[in-house]
Structure 1
Amino acid sequence: MAPTSEVDASDVPTTTTSTEKRALSRRRFAAGALGAAGLTGMAGCSSVLGNADSSETITMLLTPDTPSDVRPQYQPVHDLLEGEIDGLDLEMKVPQDYSAVRPALRSEQAEIGMDDVTLISDPDMMDLFGTAVTGGTAFYFSMMLTKPESDIDERTDLEGRSVAFADRLSTSGSIFAVYALKEAGLDVGDAPDGPPVDFDGTWSNHEDAVQKVINDDADACCTWTGNGMAYLAQDQELPEEVANQDSFVGNRGSESETLRPFWWSFPIPKQPIYARQSWDSPMKEEIRQTLIDSDRELIEEYLPEDYNEDDLPFSTLRETTMDNYEPVITRLNDLGIELG
């Protein structure tokens, strides 16, 4: 197993908003609804609340993946921000892939993003709010999965096999995974920007990667614990640091299909939330402070009915710096991935 990261997940801020404000916010959202919002190449949702004369419309770009999976997960974050901040009209949109995020920010089609690769690609363009925290931890894990009956037990067993990855710029579903295969001695060729040598690789998104294994279109897949943990048996034994530091362990057994993990990364900092520096508005600081002041108790008041709390991607922000994302930078540089 890879060495343990030195990043510390302690000291998460937990400032609480007043009970009266929370109750008012919840009443406000009892009448709210989400609908479709258009932006070329992106799927999104926006609130129908707010006075057009007084509200400020802000666009937040979610992590690129399947929109029908991502948008419902972030619904409580959307409702929290609109409920706690007067005059905020928040649109959440899902880019087609990671390479679409920075152009949308640079062209001022969006104000806020939340993936580490875009942040790393141009840190001088962004104001870092902090790292997302869920379940008391600011970390998740990259993982490799195969079918229970497979003879794949370690990374070197993937030689000559087919491997499904997430988006080529996904930290957990591609960058950490390809680097791990290279560390194990496999010739990764030009992956993820070109074909590997010692195995066949395909790139899509997290859920499609898992489905390729289930459908026998790939021998193994690489994903993150927020997606893959649900496909583990409920009694699947976990490495100690995964059991202690991952916030998705409760998802085990929630999918009908069962896959078997054979590799885990060390803890990876969860996605950062950042804003473009060129966005000049008091709303920027209000959003940052609201996210930092949030806690589990507050965001639970914004959970929709029938929401699976194990899917919650955010409860608060931990204030961090670019140093927390050094492991990602190391792997990008080693693999020669150009982010320009």
Structure 2
Amino acid sequence: MANRRKFLKTTGAIGTIGLAGCMGGGSGGETTTASDTTESGGGDTTEGTETTTAEKMDFQNGEINFNVSPSVAQERLQAQYQPIKEYLSNEFSVPAKLKLANNYSAVIQALGAGTSDMAETGPFAAALGVEAGKAEIALQRKGYGSWEYKSIIVAADEVDVSSLDEMKTYVQNNDTTIAFADRLSASGCLFPLYDLKKAGISIGDLPEGSGSNAAFTPNFSSHTGAYETLKNGQADFAGMGGFVPGLQDDFDKHASVINEHTGLPRAPIVVSPQLDEKEKTALVDAFTGAPDKIYLGKDGKKDTDDDLWFNAVRKIGVEEYQPVIDAAKELGVGTDYFGN
């Protein structure tokens, strides 16, 4: 139990390389292996780009492996991240591979094992990964005009509830199912559970346990998966990132927001602790010095379907994710989440 309750610390960021100083799929938080889906030796997205490193770097496997946690359909992720893959390959003159993971845990495990060099992930997974020694926070992403975002709890259209107090009464009197995103999602699981607990709704041993002792039945998938579960009548409530309503044409017909948790730090980009300091620095500098077109997707055009949700990055450390760390402490989540 002592190990299970080991709290996160605000150490382990990439301070040693001069840094100043958040979306998941899969269920149950199980560790799964990220799969290679595509690779590149270069592309026309970054034509004219020259290698800026003083010497050629081999990274961990003679290639750059960039992991992506699925927050939308994988076929869209392919198009969205294609320019990043091509840019990295051209920048370092080594093959770049884009790996799509089943969940956040798979991303952190790959970074810790050295099979991934860099990855985008959620704030909760990143902070926990830092404490476990499996990841180092390097960059924060900016999206929709802000470095912050929000977590929401929504009620199904047929559920007559408009607040957490009313939700507490509903849960006490009904067999209730609540849908969540990945167990390691900050906005889709950690903060919804945090707010439920604060409202007096028993969450049992969640998010680490099965939730069999909670006052409700949990259902885990992804952000959009949680909404679909609610929409299809399989859940009474759902916790998800505040960006989900904007992705759905008919959200207001099927759900209503009953709680918002604002001010969450947007999701980071992390690097593997297995990289040497030159490689970490080079990857971070490549992103901060990248052209804007790496955010425009495969078609290279602004405001089209394959644009990335973020359009800028900044160097950052784990201390910026203190709200996430505090919530994890409150829920008693420890580094044993990832095993030994």
Stretches of structure 2 that go unaligned for 5 or more consecutive residues are: 1-31, 44-55
Q: Does the 8 Å CA contact 1:46/1:89 hold for their aligned counterparts? A: no
Residue number in structure 1 paired with 2:47: none
Amino acid aligned to 1:186: I
Q: Does the 8 Å CA contact 1:165/1:202 hold for their aligned counterparts? A: yes
Q: What displacement does 1:168 show?
A: 1.2
Which of 313, 323, 328 is equivalent to 1:317? 313
Q: What displacement does 1:163 show?
A: 0.8
Q: What displacement does 1:186 show?
A: 0.9
1:292 and 2:288 correspond: yes
Q: Does the 8 Å CA contact 2:141/2:314 hold for their aligned counterparts? A: yes
1:273 and 2:282 correspond: no
Q: What displacement does 1:93 show?
A: 1.4
Q: Counterparts of 2:304 and 2:66 in 1: how far apart (Å)?
A: 22
Which of 151, 173, 177 is equivalent to 1:142? 151
Q: What displacement does 1:113 show?
A: 2.3
Partner SS state of residue 128, structure 1 = strand
Residue number in structure 2 paired with 1:216: 233
Q: Does the 8 Å CA contact 2:297/2:306 hold for their aligned counterparts? A: no
Label 1:303 to 1:50 Cα distance change in 2 as closer, same or farther (>3 A): closer
Residue number in structure 2 paired with 1:78: 85
Label 1:135 to 1:302 Cα distance change in 2 as closer, same or farther (>3 A): farther
Label 1:59 to 1:297 Cα distance change in 2 as closer, same or farther (>3 A): closer
Q: Tell me the TM-score normalized by structure 1.
A: 0.71
Residue number in structure 2 paired with 1:163: 178
* 1:102-117 equivalent positions in 2, closer than 5 A: 102-115=108-121, 116-117=123-124
Q: Counterparts of 1:255 and 1:74 in 2: how far apart (Å)?
A: 27
Label 1:64 to 1:130 Cα distance change in 2 as closer, same or farther (>3 A): same
Q: Counterparts of 1:68 and 1:60 in 2: how far apart (Å)?
A: 16
Residue number in structure 1 paired with 2:66: 60
Label 1:303 to 1:77 Cα distance change in 2 as closer, same or farther (>3 A): farther
Q: Tell me the TM-score normalized by structure 2.
A: 0.71
Q: Does the 8 Å CA contact 2:42/2:86 hold for their aligned counterparts? A: no
1:205 and 2:201 correspond: no
- Compare relative contact order (CA 8 Å, sep 6+) and give the higher one, 1 or 2: 2
Q: Does the 8 Å CA contact 2:196/2:203 hold for their aligned counterparts? A: yes
Q: Does the 8 Å CA contact 1:113/1:273 hold for their aligned counterparts? A: yes
* 1:22-37 equivalent positions in 2, closer than 5 A: none
Q: Counterparts of 2:98 and 2:294 in 1: how far apart (Å)?
A: 20
Q: Does the 8 Å CA contact 2:296/2:308 hold for their aligned counterparts? A: no
Q: Does the 8 Å CA contact 2:42/2:87 hold for their aligned counterparts? A: no
Partner SS state of residue 178, structure 2 = strand
Q: Counterparts of 1:281 and 1:254 in 2: how far apart (Å)?
A: 47
Say which is worse superposed, 123-132 or 307-316, in terms of deviation.
307-316
Q: Counterparts of 1:106 and 1:200 in 2: how far apart (Å)?
A: 32
Q: What displacement does 1:324 show?
A: 1.0
Please list the CA deviations of residues 186-234 of structure 1 after superposition, one character each: whole Å capped at 9, or x if unmatched: 1111112231532221112222211111110011211113333323xxx
Q: Counterparts of 1:167 and 1:292 in 2: how far apart (Å)?
A: 29
